[in-house]
Structure 1
Amino acid sequence: MAASPLMRGIHDLFARMEPPTGGRGDLDGNPGLPTAPTLRDAAVLVPLVDRVEGPTLLLTQRTAHLAAHAGQISFPGGGVEPHDIDPIATALRETEEEIGLPRSHVRILGRLDTYITRTGFRVVPVVAHVRPPFTLTPDPNEVDAIFEVPLTFILNPASRVRESREFMGAQRHFWAFPYGDRYIWGATAGMLVNLCDVLAGLNDAT
């Protein structure tokens, strides 16, 4: 299946981009937020699925018993292992392990800004074009559900909200994307805002 016009535009945009050098994280807007004393390197795949009706973002809901970010919505990914040659290798390996997406269906487009979480992860988001059809096999120990969100929903500024809640005696501010009965927030929402900022360049190119 040929890439949709929007996906072709995304390909062209990432092909022109310089490698990102910036950083984002949970501390943005929360300078006093307690954080982990050390950081572990990690990577996630930001999968743009090229559906006939338009590109979607593939997301997972983590199982409730996990030690970090239990029950939250996230991109497939995880910690860097010694045999991973780069963040792309980590993102592809973890995606295969978590949801069974064959890397033969994945074309890497580029990276977003590194994102540092309060829980001690230095995450590289790897953006990819995913070509259907494919069959997913989620790991029941890590993934409770897999779903897709239209990219146009994420790119609509009205879809994102800046919210806050009390955390350890102070107000923590964060981005969120409420989507039906799903609530995308925290690091994943922060990376989605980064993706929106990057894809705003599509308008500049037209």
Structure 2
Amino acid sequence: MVHSVQLTRSVPKIPGINNPIIGFSEDDARRLHHPHDDAFVVSLQIGDYNMHRVLVDNGSSTDILYYPAFQQMRIDMEQLTPTNALLMGFGGTKVFPLGAITLSMTAGDYPQQITREVTFLVVDCSSAYNAILRRPTLNSWKAATSTYHLMIKFPTDYGVGELRGNQVAVRECYIAMLEMEDQQQTMCIRE
């Protein structure tokens, strides 16, 4: 396992890459199992951790970090910034975040990668995902997303970076969500 990689020489920037044309082709979708209507789940480096099961949600206006993932990152609760934000879930359920935290997030593979500071709302509710990536964050990357290709492409100083979805992780999350719903239904029946 590699814990640290150090660059011994610099990678030259590609001239004229400031405004690359970003597109998708059938080659981008070749490795996927079709047909599919899978959710878009990726892995990102958030803070010092490789975080799997990150849902890309073009409809969400808030970056979410679920509390179990926050705990596994061993971040002290005192680092959370209090927030008055109120989140509305499906069915009108109200979720009050525990607080907000700004973490460094890296997407893509070196050298076609980007690193940005992202502010997450930390919420304590059940989810099969560790985090949700929102639309404004994707816009700040100047990213193009394709749910058909399960891919995000974004401009970098070294060409177009890519972030691919993981169909296996999507299906694991789906099964985990079904198990959570069964537990919630059982609890409601007992009440």
Q: Shorter-chain-normalised TM-score: which range? A: under 0.3
TM-score (norm 1): 0.25
Give the structure with the larger strand fraction: 1
